[in-house]
Amino acid sequence: MPKSAVYFLVTLFLAVTTLTACTPQTRPDAMTVVQERQVLRVGTLMNPTSYYFDHDREQGFEYDLAKRFADRLGVELEMVPRFDINDLFTMLRRGEVDIVAAGIDRTSTRAQLFRFSPPYDVISQKVVFKQGSRQRPRDLQQITDGEIVVVEGSSHHEFLKSLGDSIPTLKWRATTDHDAVELLRMVINEEIDYTITDSTALDIQRRFHPDLSVAFTVKHDQDIGWALPQSNDDSLYAAVIEYFGEIRSSGRLAHIKEQHFGHVKQFNYVTTSLFIEAVDTILPKYKSLFREHSGTLDWRLLAAISYQESLWNPRAVSPTGVRGMMMLTLPTAKAMGVKSRLNAEQSIRGGARYLERMLERVPDRIPQPDRTWFALAAYNIGFGHLEDARILTEKQGGNPDRWVDVKKRLPLLRQKQFYRQTRFGFARGDEPVTYVGNIRRFYDTLKYLDEQGRL
């Protein structure tokens, strides 16, 4: 080959190489990055409503939502917990996390900075104080006897800043030293006067601190969603939209919400206060019996059932003839080997064995915790009526293996147009719904008090 031709080819090669090196490389989209990494990184807040550890296992409402989404994408989930929402937003902007899932509400300011998923919950924001510590204010203008403390960078902080100087008498400050749950506890301890909190966080904390009292609501119907980076890349964002559409239409979202929050919406100050008082004064007499005879059950669940049944009164008697700590019927007592229903130990042992029998009858395909809620309903109303409600649920297009669906149909067993279709007929189906909800609240309170070393 002539030298001139060789020179030409070398020159052409160098030119092409230089041009290729100068051409901007196309960056992979967010979905491709996640799939190549094989990990979805989700920023969250470490708190009882979003993400926490229970016996070294990851738990929480946001964790369950994120885990299901990661499984859908076929990747591993890495939860990245922080205690400050501002840290999470900074990490999202820097690309250190793919999504922020922390029960955050979509405000106008945040919507300019981030893209939000479709809302998966709606909350309200309430001013809270300790009951009995002061006269209840009806609006912000009436807060003249104290100071509101909120978490810096929170939507509550954003709301107070938006007021400007419109209420000159209002005193408030934002803190980075405490999270929202800690502020609620500080209200109870009278370390601060007021705070603003989301309704879901308040519902959970009132199970342990019934003296948290609502003064008034400052914001209604706030959408809760996941936050993603503000960009032209729609790949991951589109997958999030599709995911929430699927779990909403399939009923899975309602199922997850029921597992975490379905029992906390109903709050009764007197009932909660009396229960916490009974934990201190009555439970110590019987705690060893609950522990000894719990078998495969959590003794705290057994204690919660007993309180719902008899208020921990071994000589309790109902008009229908059930008796004792676990309020056993005579046939049930005989079947469980209980000779005296008014004997506390025999009643607790018999009740525990009977609940275990109900658990064994629940179909194996039903996972926890729904399995336990079904067994509790059967303990209360009988397994036959529970099966009637499950069959009715399936006929109406619901899922008979989900408590959230079945508990909607149980009250229908009172109505002739429905119970005439069933095998076991009429039943006061609303009672097991209340029964299970109360036990879940008592059980949660006992677990919390146990973790605090109060049992």
Known active-site residue 76: no
**Does the residue 302 lie in any domain?**
yes
66 & 88 share domain:
yes
Amino acid identity at 134: R
Shared domain check, 76 and 102: yes
pLDDT of the residue at 66: 97
For the entire predicted model, the pTM comes to 0.81
Q: How far apart are CA 272 and CA 211, in angstroms?
A: 10
Tell me how many domains the chain contains.
Answer: 3
| Residue 323 scores a pLDDT above 60 | yes
Same structural domain, 62 and 164:
no
For 4-54, the pLDDT digits (tens) are: 544 444 454 444 444 444 545 567 899 999 999 999 999 999 988 899 887
Same domain, 360 and 405: yes
Distance CA 204, CA 260 (A): 10
Pair (407, 290) in one structural domain:
yes
Q: Model confidence over 276-306: pLDDT tens digits?
A: 999 999 999 999 999 999 999 999 999 999 9
Outline where DSSP puts E strands in 8-120: 39-45, 52-54, 57-59, 76-82, 99-105, 114-116
- Say whether both 189 and 160 belong to one domain: yes
Query: Who has greater pLDDT, 49 or 344?
Result: 344
pLDDT tens across 182-226, in order? 999 999 999 999 999 999 999 999 988 999 999 999 999 999 999
Residue 294's domain comprises 271-451
R_g of the chain computed on alpha carbons: 28
198 within a domain of the structure (yes/no): yes
Count CA within 13 A, CB hemisphere, residue 160: 24
For residues 351 and 406, membership in a common domain is answered with: yes
Residue 431 lies in a domain: yes
Residue 352: name the closest of 384, 328, 383, 373 by CA.
Answer: 328
Same domain (yes/no): 389, 444: yes
What percent of the chain lies above the pLDDT cut of 90? 82
Task: Tell whether 266 is covered by a domain.
Answer: no
**CATH no. for residue 85?**
3.40.190.10
Asked whether 305 and 294 are in contact (CB, 8 A), the reply is no
Which tokens in the block code for residue 347?
């009643």
In 114-234, which residue ranges form alpha helices assigned H by DSSP? 155-162, 180-188, 199-205
Are 412 and 299 in a shared domain? yes
Q: Considering 78, 152, 277, 309, which one is annotated as catalytic?
A: 309
Say whether 368 sits in a helix, a strand or coil: coil
**210 lies in the same domain as 350:** no
- Could you give the CA distance from residue 149 to residue 44 in angstroms, rounded to a whole number? 22
- What is the reported pLDDT for 444? 93
Does one domain contain both 332 and 239? no
In a domain, 11, yes or no: no
